[in-house]
A and B are shown apart, each in its own frame.
Chain A
C-alpha cells in the first residue's frame, strides 16, 4: 500500500517537486490558535476527543502567527476586531491560507448591523468558506479537506 506499492525494484519513486511539496503542506498545516466567538467553541470540539483534528496533522495550534500556516476565522468579526485580524494575517509567513468558519465570518450572518463586518473577505483573502451557525465539527473537517484539495492543486508558478 501507499509508497511501497509504487516502489519498483530500484527503490525509487518518481514525482514532481510540485506534488511532493503540496503533499507535505497538506500533511502538517498548523492552524493559528485563535478564536472569535461561538464557532471557536465548535473549533475546540473539533480539536478534542470525538473529532480529533490531529488525524490531519493539525493538533498543533500555534499561538503566534509567525509559526502558523492556516488562519481559521471562527466567529463574528466586529469593526473593532478587524484591524487585529488583519495584523495577525499580515504577520503570518507565506504560504498561508484562510478558512472563514461560519455564517458571520463568511457574510455577516444574522447580524446585518452597525457592529459587524459583513464578511471577513472585506479585509483578508479567503480560501474556503464554511456555512453554518455554528458549523458542526464535521463541516469544519470538510472545509479543511476542501482546502487540502485546493493546496494539492497549486502550481509552482503560484508559489509566492
Chain B
C-alpha cells in the first residue's frame, strides 16, 4: 500500500518536472518554439560522474546552452555536523568527496585546529602529508580510468584500479577501512603508522612511476585521444579566475595557484616539488597536469617517507583536553581516564568564533568554515567544495562545443557529485 501511494506522488512530480513554461528565461526562446532541441543528460547517465543532470539545448549537435541541475545527492552533511561534537563530525566529512576522504578529513581537522589554536606534532604532520598525497594519487587514478572510459578507451580503468587497490590497501593498513578512513582527526592522526606500512609504501613508490609511464603510453600520444581532447573545452585564464575555479582546472589554463605553495599547511613548504601548469586550458592540458601531479606526488612521498623513518615522537597533540590519551596510560593514570571519558561523551568546547581554512584537495580548494558556539557543537559548518564551483562554470565552458565533447569536458574538470551536493 505504501508503495502505491509513493508511486502516485512520483507521477505528480514527473508532471511537475515536464513543464516547458518553467524553463522560460533559462533557455533561449528558440527552444520554447521548438527550433532547437532540449535534451536531458542525467541524472542517470554513465558519463556524468554521478547523479548530475544537465539540460542541454542543442542546435543540431552543437550545444547552445547548458543548465546544470544539482542536488540529487544532497545529503544534509553540513546540517548533520551541527548536531555532532567536533571529534564525531569527522566520519561525516569522509562521505562528501568520496574519492579522496583524507582531504576532507584534513580540511575539517585543520579548521578545527585553527579554531582551537591547537598544534600538531611534526610526526603527525608528516603522516598527514603521506596520506594526502596517497589520496591525491588514488583520486586521480579513478579520474583517469573513468575519464578514459568516457572518451572510449576501455582498458585504462583496469590498469588504474589495479594501482588504486594497492593505495586502498595502505589506507586499510593505517585506519582499518579502505575508503572512509576518518584517519586524520583534529590534533593529528588516529594512530601511528603500523610496522609493515613503511616497507609496503616503499615498494609502491618503487613500482608506481613505471605504471604512470604505462598510462602515458596508452594515452598521451594516442591520436584518437588527442583528437578528442586537444582544443576541446578551452577555459581562458580570466574565465577560470572569474568563476573561481581551483586545482587542475585552474592550473590547466596556466594560472599558477596551488594552496600547497601559496598558503602552505602541514609543512608543505619544506618539501621540494613543482606545480605543473598548462598552456591552452583544454581537456588535454588538464589531463597532462594530473599525469604530472602523479610524479610530483611521488616526489613528495619519497621525501615524506624518508622523514617518517627519522622523525619519531608523538603523532597527535598531547593536549589531552582535545586529543585522547594513549590507551597504555588508561590503566595507570586517573587523569587519563577522566580525559578519555570526557572526550568520548562530551567532546570539547570551542570558542564562539568563526574561522575559514582551505587546503588543496585533488580537485582544488576545499575550504571549511566553522562558527563555534563556545560549547561542544558548532553553530554552523560550511564546506566550500571545488566540484560545486566547477559545475557552475560548465555552461560557459560547454557553449559551442559538440554534444560528444560534453562528456570530455565533464570528465576533465573532475567533478564528484557528493562533493558538490554534500
- Is the pair B95, A37 in contact by a Cβ cutoff of 8 Å? yes
- Chain B residues within 8 Å of A96, by CB: none
Judge if A127 is at the interface, Cβ distance under 8 Å.
no
- Is the pair B75, A80 in contact by a Cβ cutoff of 8 Å? no
- Chain A residues within 8 Å of B14, by CB: 83, 87
Interface string of A50-85 (1 = CB under 8 A from B): 100000000001010000000000011010111110
Judge if A145 is at the interface, Cβ distance under 8 Å.
no
Tell me the complex Cα distance, A115–B74, Å.
7
Judge if B98 is at the interface, Cβ distance under 8 Å.
yes
Tell me the complex Cα distance, A134–B421, Å.
19
Tell me the complex Cα distance, A34–B6, Å.
22
Number of interface residues of A (CB under 8 A): 40
- Chain B residues within 8 Å of A99, by CB: none
- Is the pair A136, B178 in contact by a Cβ cutoff of 8 Å? yes
Judge if A113 is at the interface, Cβ distance under 8 Å.
yes
- Is the pair B43, A35 in contact by a Cβ cutoff of 8 Å? no
Q: State which residues 91-134 of A face B: CB under 8 Å.
A: 110-111, 113-116, 122-125, 133-134
| A38-B418 contact, Cβ under 8 Å, with A50-B161, A83-B10, A113-B79 | yes
| A49-B76 contact, Cβ under 8 Å, with A88-B44, A110-B92, A134-B180 | no
Output the nearest chain A residue to B47 by Cβ-Cβ distance.
A63
- Is the pair B161, A45 in contact by a Cβ cutoff of 8 Å? yes
Judge if B50 is at the interface, Cβ distance under 8 Å.
yes
Q: A125 to nearest B CB, angstroms?
A: 8
The listed residue (A80, A113, A122) touching B80 by CB distance below 8 A is A113
Judge if B397 is at the interface, Cβ distance under 8 Å.
no
Main secondary structure of the interface of A (DSSP, over half): loop
Q: A140 to nearest B CB, angstroms?
A: 12
- Chain B residues within 8 Å of A82, by CB: 10
Output the nearest chain B residue to A62 by Cβ-Cβ distance.
B46
- Is the pair A114, B180 in contact by a Cβ cutoff of 8 Å? no
Judge if A48 is at the interface, Cβ distance under 8 Å.
yes
Q: B308 to nearest A CB, angstroms?
A: 27
Tell me the complex Cα distance, A36–B159, Å.
23
| A78-B44 contact, Cβ under 8 Å, with A36-B51, A48-B158 | no
- Is the pair A122, B6 in contact by a Cβ cutoff of 8 Å? yes
| A49-B179 contact, Cβ under 8 Å, with A81-B43, A123-B3 | no
**Residue among B2, B50, B76, B146 facing the most chain A CB atoms (10 A cut-off):** B76
The listed residue (A86, A113, A136) touching B10 by CB distance below 8 A is A86
Q: State which residues 125-175 of B face A: CB under 8 Å.
A: 142, 145-146, 157-159, 161-162, 164-165, 168
Q: Which 9 A-B pairs have the closest CB atoms?
A: A48-B161, A38-B98, A115-B76, A113-B76, A83-B10, A49-B162, A81-B72, A50-B165, A49-B158
